Amino acid sequence: MLARVLARRNDLRFPLPKNFAARLTGRRVLRLSRRAKYILAHLDNGEVLLIHLGMSGRFQIEGQGVGRFVHAGAPPGKHDHVEFLTDAGARVVYTDHRRFGSMDLVPEAHLATHRLLRAIGPEPLSEAFDGALLAARLEGKRTPIKSALLDQRVVAGLGNIYVCEALFRAGISPRRQASTVRLARTERLVPDIKAVLEEAILAGGSTLRDFKDTSGELGYFQHRFDVYDREGEACRRCGAPVRRIVQAGRSTFFCSGCQR
């Protein structure tokens, strides 16, 4: 149960809901789920706490024990914007120095039509996401395949690092027009997208700057990168130098020898 909720400011990327802390205090979290890059905390009053971490937001869980508050570590930092204190003694702190994250409270019945969720594409790790579905969603798209895969309306939750890595594994150039990536290629690409995501999850994510998990541990998938952040280094497959270009303001890493 959320025994106490502290909001140290009225907004993150967007304004927090009216009476945010009061509406959460005393509520029990029944389960946690995810939609794309959003965390969903399903509450016992039929509402859902909708959370996006943005670029630099993170949660840290501190404290142990049951039936008492445990305030571990230093006093709240400048960028510790929201705290959730549980009846089991845990202190869950949301920290976000850029404030690109967001939180909202949404009736569960209205979740699918919420302005932040209604246009999102299929989940990449779902059984429904296969080569045929991706080929259909890419049909007629004149953007590069890299940009198309980052479009949350095409497929949910894919980030820049994992798109670069999946395209490398599938041997597809990030510059290739999305509409030319038809069924034969998407049937290779989709399993590689799933494999990259599953491996990254098992490795705890990728720590390039300040990413940490809820216990403060770093991710380790960056040690397995084939192309991302390896500009000028030899491709592990063919030996050609890994290249970097900029697409839609994002760095793209690829091997021109392997990816066509």
Q: What is the pLDDT of residues 134-193, one digit of tens each?
A: 999 999 999 999 999 999 999 998 989 999 999 999 999 999 999 999 999 999 999 999
Query: What is the structure's pLDDT at 249?
Result: 92
230: pLDDT strictly greater than 50? yes
Domains and CATH numbers, the chain: 2-113 (3.20.190.10), 131-254 (1.10.8.50)
Under 8 Å between Cβ of 164 and 200 = no
Choose the weakest-confidence range: 66-80, 121-135, 161-175, 226-240. Answer: 66-80
pLDDT (0 to 100) of residue 95: 96
Mean pLDDT across 227-250: 96
pLDDT above 90: percentage of residues in the chain: 81
C-alpha span between 101 and 155 (Å, rounded): 21
Residue 252 burial (CB count, 10 A)? 23
- Residues 119 and 154: their CA atoms lie apart, in Å, by 9
CA dist 236 and 204 (Å) reads: 23
- Contact 197/124 with Cβ under 8 angstroms? yes
Q: What is the pLDDT of residue 218?
A: 46
pLDDT of residue 206: 56
pLDDT of 221 higher than 90: no
* Distance in angstroms (rounded) separating the CA atoms of residues 227 and 231: 7
For 56-72, how does the pLDDT look when each residue is reduced to its tens digit (9 = 90+)?
Answer: 899 999 875 434 444 44
pLDDT band with cut points at 50, 70 and 90 for residue 216: low
> Would you state the structure tokens that stand for residue 141, as one six-digit string?
């798209």
**How many C-beta neighbours within 10 Å does residue 154 have?**
20
Whether residue 242 has pLDDT greater than 90: yes
